[in-house]
Chain A
């Protein structure tokens, strides 16, 4: 639409320039006074000197108005308006106000009423066009007054121009011997059309309607003039019979012309209505295309169209994000560039080595596939494909979604679920185990009591007690694990020396013979920032583990605890000289419910698992190192400072 307006502005400038060229040209002709040329081609001098000057002014005024000037075009159009009014008044009132030869005395005359006098229709057009131009200059845009004035001027000029074309004098000679010249008619037409159409749309006027009605109006004016001429001719005939004959022929002719005029008007109206409808549907179409383009261009998913032989026809911007190729780079390339034809399950898709058609064939199935990025990386995509039958052949539209993240979470979820299932299975077993055992022991105890075997009874009761202690330990561990997982804990500054000391003290009371010596090498003044309860869980589990698996044969069983902090990382090391972990069992060390020492199967089997989970929830990691004798556990945690 904006391009349309620019074109009309260009037309307006051309109209103004045309008037200036014609005006200046005619002034030059008049001033040069070429007598011979005037004798041979008197029609050239149909446009009077005054008129030439007026057109130069009007042309300049229109160009200036289009260029955005206000005062200049007004001042240029005003004298033309005054001149037009005076010239018309001379015709209407039959007077000579001396304006015709005020500036220039014509050296030749084509036989006008008064030498240098312009025709009344020319004068009227000057009034109309200058009025419209003054309005345009004042308002800066189109309005109804300009529309009416220029409309009338265009109709008059067009009528006279058509009159020249069909050799019909009445069209331009409103009074005998004074006519609107061809040059003047073209200038009025140009200016009138310019004023009518430039800026018509912003002002809300339909150009098509104006043009169509102008056509009809010109036709009707010509028709009326023709009728008037025939009637006038008829009245001039000497005999009444001839007059009647001519009148009846004229009447028939007129009816025919009127009928054809009606058909013409109907056709104009129909074509106008049709073109409006076409414009509307074209604008709807372009709107819906814009909307669709906005959706496709802003879609998160990649959207491709692919021909039946597997050539990419279009790609949206999201494809660049997904595949790394710019949309322009993939258009015209085979779809295998992006989807190498390997199905997500691995292996080449059936028949994909038969060229393009087959690769499109594998592509049309949709589902989960492997995509390939520009850098060659293979990643999972989800594809949904629709087949579209068009006049020029079959195309496929594909919506492509990068599902790397979803697959990653899926794997994480599956792993977490498997761990949870394992946990449920093992806890249900390990919870029931001491109870089942106690039920058995209870039955035995009852029999022993009945038989009075009190020594054996006391042994059975001790076994039951150990069962329940084990059960209690397991439940305590599950509580720690759950709390560890659910508890939100703030970072705090604390002394790791104190934590180790407290844990060591509380373990010493539980230890059977108190042989294991715990050496706390942590500097007492050192403080770290972490989550104290989780750190406590780590320390407690590592120490109790070291005590549990001490070597009974060792003369000096000991545990050494060290902690260093540098570069924001805390390195906590617990070393013992116990029985160690056999090499083949080390991969199972941190798994839940793995008790690696058959002869010493106390404990829930959750200790190191809980320790590892606690370290991970602190953003750290834990590893095991074997020593020549015993074990070394290293926990690395970020220092929250």
Chain B
């Protein structure tokens, strides 16, 4: 199974730009959905379930953790690969995210081709 849709949740325009550029380069056929915080992401997910979600943690309105809580309780069907993408791997953030079974990976910014290749493998596994 190939990655065909990815939802990028990040409040930073530059990070959105980097993600979009990298995904295009990895596979121009992938459809990219965008959200700037947790609430926007939830409303996108109500209409469709992507193959993967790339999720930032520090966002205004609803941060990555709050989003994960809502996503775990309010949705029965989850995206096969949810990857955290954060600027620093500090403290207990990693364990807190990995408690959710659908969180498969914990990546450090910036997003790279290797990251996407890893997500592709996770999807196939």
Contacts and interface: CB of A to CB of B under 8 A. Distances in A.
Interface in A414-432: 425-426, 428-430, 432
B90 interface: yes
Given A436-B109, A436-B110, A437-B109, A444 B61 contact: no
A467 B87 CA distance: 13
Interface in A358-406: none
Nearest to A584: B61
Interface stretch (B9-17, B45-53, B71-79, B97-105): B9-17
B18 A429 contact: no
A433 B37 contact: no
Contacts of A452: none
B91 A598 contact: no
B109 A433 contact: yes
Contact of B17 (A429, A463, A601): A463
Contact of B109 (A440, A594, A595, A599): A440
A95 B58 CA distance: 132
A463 B14 CA distance: 6
A441 B14 contact: yes
B88 A595 contact: no
Q: Is the interface of A mostly helix, strand, loop or mixed?
A: helix
Interface in A330-352: none
A284 interface: no
Contacts of B28: none
B21 interface: yes
A593 B110 CA distance: 21
A233 interface: no
B111 interface: yes
Interface in B74-118: 86-88, 90-91, 108-111
A413 interface: no
A432 B108 CA distance: 10
Contacts of A467: 14
A444 B111 CA distance: 11
Contact of B60 (A439, A463, A598): A598
B59 interface: yes
A440 B87 contact: no
A132 B101 CA distance: 112
Interface string A589-624: 000011111110100000000000000000000000
A260 interface: no
A443 B110 contact: yes
Contact of A433 (B40, B87, B111): B87
Contacts, number: 71
A240 B78 CA distance: 146
B30 to A, nearest CB: 17
A466 interface: yes
Contacts of A437: 12, 14-15, 18, 87, 109-110
Given A437-B12, A441-B14, A598 B61 contact: yes
A550 B22 CA distance: 34
Interface residues of A, number: 27
Contact of A440 (B11, B13, B18, B91): B18
B43 to A, nearest CB: 13
A427 to B, nearest CB: 10
B53 to A, nearest CB: 18
Nearest to A460: B17
B87 A466 contact: no
Which of A430, A439, A598, A599 has most B Cβ within 10 Å? A598
A598 B59 contact: yes
Nearest to A439: B110
A428 B60 contact: no
A598 B15 CA distance: 14
Contacts of B91: 425
A176 to B, nearest CB: 120
B101 to A, nearest CB: 25
Interface in A431-451: 432-437, 439-441, 443-444
A420 to B, nearest CB: 14
Given A437-B12, A596-B60, A598-B36, A425 B18 contact: no
Contacts of A597: 60
Nearest to B85: A436
Contacts of B18: 437, 440-441, 444
B110 A466 contact: no
Nearest to A459: B17
Contacts of B110: 436-437, 439-441, 443
A327 to B, nearest CB: 52
Contact of B90 (A428, A440, A443): A428
B88 A594 contact: no
A436 B60 contact: no
Nearest to A435: B87
Interface of A: 425-426, 428-430, 432-437, 439-441, 443-444, 463, 466-467, 593-599, 601
The 10 closest A-B pairs by CB, nearest first: A440-B110, A436-B109, A440-B18, A433-B87, A432-B87, A595-B60, A437-B14, A432-B88, A436-B87, A598-B60
16 contacts: A428-B88, A429-B86, A433-B12, A433-B88, A434-B14, A436-B108, A437-B87, A439-B110, A440-B111, A441-B18, A467-B14, A595-B60, A598-B11, A598-B37, A601-B12, A601-B60
Given A430-B87, A441-B110, A598-B36, 18 more contacts: A429-B87, A432-B87, A432-B88, A433-B12, A433-B58, A437-B87, A437-B109, A439-B110, A441-B17, A443-B110, A463-B13, A463-B14, A593-B58, A595-B60, A598-B40, A598-B61, A601-B12, A601-B60
